[in-house]
């Protein structure tokens, strides 16, 4: 999901060994995780110093915390949880600012210790210290040496929220006085973006009185199984020529794939070089990738970002932009196909064949069977399949669509069964327990004193936040809600 180049200091998320963008973030197989964006941070030149002038360790210094494997049974022992910490602005009595990046390897998120993020800006203003802690079952913070279904029994939302609480109550920080700043002695501020923003709200809801204040950016607090509305902010805010043309193509694809002759279907698949992909929902669903690129946009994104490259490919013909109504079906089909053939397939899949990269029907593929640690896509799917859903699908009949209706929740539920057969047994389409999650954490009805909530109008995840527009959650002085015109977590970092 990260297509921009990061400074030498910070490694991009999902910089795994896999070849393709698609397999790195798991999106080709159905779902893009809502990770916060890694801000660009130039490596500080020279040594950082604290306010008293003493030298600080580099912000990449790694620390380990002994975290309980099971908060319901401390006797099970502990595992090493990684964290990063700095005290550039800290003065005794200042707040301790804690964030987990959530569903990814946290190495690379050190920028969230600095003042290019709201975390560091609060620290700078309030003389606080900052901490980034890795979420259990991501990166190298694992209770067990694998991501088997037996291990993943300890990967739950209640364990994740309890981790943040236990960390705050027990950590001995390396900074001067850092063993005497537990909640009650110092004010703790919990910050999160996206899933970790939801975790901020969920932690403060389920463990009141530990964190003095919270900041939740683009927090996806409402679990939703059929999350077709992921694509609504994109449809509404993308250039209109591009949305009209995408809609025209997708309507055509659904018609041909549903009612066309075998020859018509084959010709249409081949338009994108996907003639060898056997399942039509995989072909039509793969076209979502161009729209998922929207999630990486920020208010300063311009020409050169993947999403705008796509719209330019469709809408610029012989150096001329289409008007608001686009160029129409024929041009859109040809230009979209050419973009895939010449640029996009290679970006998404590298050297992989289409079935390996984009197919979702071969349960023997390593994407489902690989249980080695530091596989963020698998750890995230576990939460998706059990607790939150967020399946990014085509809309209900009658709605304007930029995404195929051939892809519906069963498409993803089937993949949950491939990922975790030992969990779901004979159920070939297990349904996530989204209602139970919402009942437990109150979803959009979250009410927490001193929780600040920020959302972006153009965020594709907005319909899972309190600013969806489907609900009328009122901003109050004790739980302020602000909606800007930004994208996903735009308020959280500086670009
Ligand atoms: C952010 O912190 C750096 C030191 O790490 C400082 O040089 C810079 O002025 C700060 N930026 C702002 C906007 O205060
Ligand atoms: C996963 O790890 C656990 C504990 O580290 C081990 O007991 C178990 O055999 C492993 N499972 C698989 C399927 O490798
Ligand atoms: C397929 O054809 C049937 C019968 O003509 C029609 O009702 C349906 O809407 C068509 N489906 C699509 C996706 O065009
Ligand atoms: C049409 O597409 C071009 C190229 O992507 C874009 O710059 C322009 O803003 C679009 N215009 C409208 C009216 O949608
Ligand atoms: C894309 O490549 C395939 C061959 O792999 C070809 O059949 C198809 O026509 C190409 N699409 C376009 C729009 O040129
Ligand atoms: C399914 O995937 C496995 C593992 O990659 C591969 O060996 C096998 O040939 C694939 N089966 C089909 C029908 O493509
Ligand atoms: C699951 O399927 C297996 C083999 O098809 C069968 O033996 C078993 O009884 C089934 N279990 C349940 C709970 O339906
Ligand atoms: C979840 O709750 C909604 C709204 O209350 C209800 O319509 C739906 O049937 C419930 N789903 C399940 C799986 O219980």
In the structure, which protein residues have their CB atom closer than 6 angstroms to any atom of ligand 7? 425-426
| Whether residue 257 sits in one domain with residue 393 | yes
The rounded radius of gyration (Å) of the Cα atoms in the chain is 23
| Whether residue 266 sits in one domain with residue 209 | no
What gap in Å lies between CA 161 and CA 207, rounded to an integer? 8
What gap in Å lies between CA 431 and CA 23, rounded to an integer? 24
CB 115 less than 6 A from any atom of ligand 1: yes
Ligand with the closest atom to the CA of 145: 2
CB 255 less than 6 A from any atom of ligand 8: no
Of 25, 107, 459, 491, the catalytic one is: 459
| Whether residue 324 sits in one domain with residue 192 | no
| Residue 213 belongs to domain with CATH number | 3.40.50.1820
CA of 166 to the centre of ligand 2 (A): 26
Residues 129 and 101: beta-carbon distance below 8 Å: no
In the structure, which protein residues have their CB atom closer than 6 angstroms to any atom of ligand 6? 355, 362, 364-365
**Which residue out of 234, 235, 237, 239 has the highest number of ligand 4 atoms within 8 Å of its CB and is therefore the one to mutate?**
239
Ligand with the closest atom to the CA of 332: 5
Q: Please give the structure tokens belonging to residue 290.
A: 């161009």
What gap in Å lies between CA 489 and CA 481, rounded to an integer? 14
| Whether residue 464 sits in one domain with residue 402 | no
In ligand 7, the atom with minimum distance to the C-alpha of 426 is 1
Residues 89 and 122: beta-carbon distance below 8 Å: no
- The answer to whether residue 194 is catalytic is yes
pLDDT at 397: 95
CA of 488 to the centre of ligand 6 (A): 37
| Whether residue 413 sits in one domain with residue 272 | yes
| Whether residue 358 sits in one domain with residue 313 | yes
Q: Which helix (H) or strand (E) holds 265?
A: helix 262-271
Nearest CA to ligand 7 atom 5: 426
Query: Closest Cα partner for 68 from 86, 56, 84, 80?
Result: 80
CB 151 less than 6 A from any atom of ligand 2: yes
Residue where a domain stops, chosen among 408, 431, 454:
431
| Whether residue 213 sits in one domain with residue 119 | yes
Range of the domain at 458: 62-224+439-484
| Whether residue 234 sits in one domain with residue 373 | yes
Nearest CA to ligand 8 atom 11: 435
| Whether residue 465 sits in one domain with residue 412 | no
pLDDT at 14: 27
| DSSP-derived secondary structure for 277-297 | ---HHHHHHHTTHHHHGGGG-
| Whether residue 293 sits in one domain with residue 375 | yes
| Inside any domain, residue 53 | no
Q: Please give the structure tokens belonging to residue 415.
A: 């993949």
CB 435 less than 6 A from any atom of ligand 8: yes
Residues 163 and 132: beta-carbon distance below 8 Å: no
| Inside any domain, residue 46 | no
| Inside any domain, residue 447 | yes
Of 151, 194, 217, 243, the catalytic one is: 194
pLDDT at 3: 24
| Whether residue 261 sits in one domain with residue 153 | no
pLDDT at 1: 24
Residues 103 and 42: beta-carbon distance below 8 Å: no
Ligand with the closest atom to the CA of 418: 6
CA of 73 to the centre of ligand 6 (A): 41
| Inside any domain, residue 346 | yes
pLDDT at 494: 85
In order along the chain (495 residues), what is the average pLDDT of each group of 10 residues? 23 30 58 72 68 91 98 98 97 98 95 94 98 98 98 98 99 97 98 97 98 98 98 98 98 98 98 97 97 95 94 98 98 98 96 95 95 97 98 97 98 97 97 98 97 97 94 93 96 88
Environment class of 244 (CB within 10 Å of its CB; exposed 0-12, middle 13-18, buried 19+): buried
Could you list the beta-strand ranges (E) of 135-286: 188-193, 213-217, 224-226
| Whether residue 426 sits in one domain with residue 289 | yes
Cβ neighbors of 275 (< 8 A, separation 6 or more) are 266, 269
| Inside any domain, residue 10 | no
What gap in Å lies between CA 344 and CA 350, rounded to an integer? 9
Nearest CA to ligand 3 atom 2: 259
Count up the domains in the chain and report the number: 2
CA of 380 to the centre of ligand 6 (A): 24
What's 112's DSSP letter?
G
Ligand with the closest atom to the CA of 425: 7
| Inside any domain, residue 355 | yes
| Inside any domain, residue 44 | no
pLDDT at 27: 63
CA of 128 to the centre of ligand 1 (A): 14
Residue where a domain stops, chosen among 413, 431, 449:
431
| Inside any domain, residue 281 | yes
pLDDT at 471: 84
Q: Is the pTM of this model over 0.85?
A: yes
Helix-, strand-, coil-residue percentages of the chain, each rounded to 5: 40, 15, 50
Residue where a domain stops, chosen among 390, 414, 431:
431
């Amino acid at each position: 999901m990260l297509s921009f180049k990061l400074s030498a200091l910070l490694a991009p998320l999902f910089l795994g060994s896999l070849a393709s963008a698609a397999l790195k973030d798991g999106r080709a197989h159905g779902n893009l995780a809502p990770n916060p964006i890694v801000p660009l941070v130039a490596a500080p030149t020279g040594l950082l110093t604290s306010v008293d002038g003493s030298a600080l360790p580099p912000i990449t210094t790694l620390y380990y915390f002994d975290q309980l494997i099971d908060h319901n049974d401390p006797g099970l022992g502990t595992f090493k949880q990684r964290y990063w910490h700095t005290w550039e602005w800290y003065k005794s009595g200042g707040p301790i600012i804690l964030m987990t990046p959530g569903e990814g390897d946290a190495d690379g998120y050190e920028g969230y210790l600095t003042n290019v993020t709201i975390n560091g800006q609060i620290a700078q203003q309030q003389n606080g210290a900052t901490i980034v802690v890795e979420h259990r079952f991501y990166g190298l913070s694992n209770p067990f040496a694998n991501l088997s279904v037996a291990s993943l029994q300890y990967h739950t939302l209640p364990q994740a929220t309890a981790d943040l609480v236990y960390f705050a109550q027990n950590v001995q920080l390396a900074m001067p006085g850092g063993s005497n700043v537990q909640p009650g002695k110092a004010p703790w501020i919990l910050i999160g973006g996206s899933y970790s923003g939801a975790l901020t709200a969920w932690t403060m809801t389920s463990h009141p009185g530990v964190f003095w204040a919270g900041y939740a950016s683009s927090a996806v607090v409402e679990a939703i199984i059929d999350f077709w509305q992921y694509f609504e902010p994109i449809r509404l805010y993308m250039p209109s020529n591009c949305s009209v043309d995408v809609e025209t193509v997708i309507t055509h694809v659904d018609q041909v794939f549903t009612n066309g002759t075998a020859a018509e279907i084959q010709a249409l698949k081949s338009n994108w070089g996907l003639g060898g992909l056997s399942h039509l929902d995989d072909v039509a669903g793969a076209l979502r990738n161009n729209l998922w690129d929207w999630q990486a946009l920020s208010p300063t994104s311009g020409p050169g970002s993947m999403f705008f490259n796509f719209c330019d490919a469709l809408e610029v013909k012989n150096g001329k932009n289409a008007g608001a109504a686009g160029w129409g079906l024929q041009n859109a089909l040809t230009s979209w196909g050419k973009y895939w053939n010449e640029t996009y397939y290679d970006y998404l899949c590298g050297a992989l064949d289409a079935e390996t990269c984009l197919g979702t029907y071969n349960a023997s593929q390593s994407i489902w069977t690989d249980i080695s640690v530091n596989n963020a896509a698998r750890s995230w799917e576990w939460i998706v399949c059990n607790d939150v859903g967020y399946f990014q699908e085509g809309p209900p009949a009658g709605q304007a669509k930029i995404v195929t209706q051939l892809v519906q929740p069963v498409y993803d539920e089937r993949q949950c069964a491939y990922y975790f057969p030992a969990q779901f047994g004979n159920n070939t389409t297990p349904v996530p327990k989204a209602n139970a999650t919402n009942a437990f954490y109150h979803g959009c009805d979250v009410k927490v004193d001193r929780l600040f909530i920020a959302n972006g109008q153009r965020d594709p995840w907005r319909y899972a936040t309190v600013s969806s527009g489907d609900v009328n959650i009122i901003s109050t002085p004790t739980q302020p809600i602000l909606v800007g015109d930004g994208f996903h977590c735009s308020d959280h970092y500086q670009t």
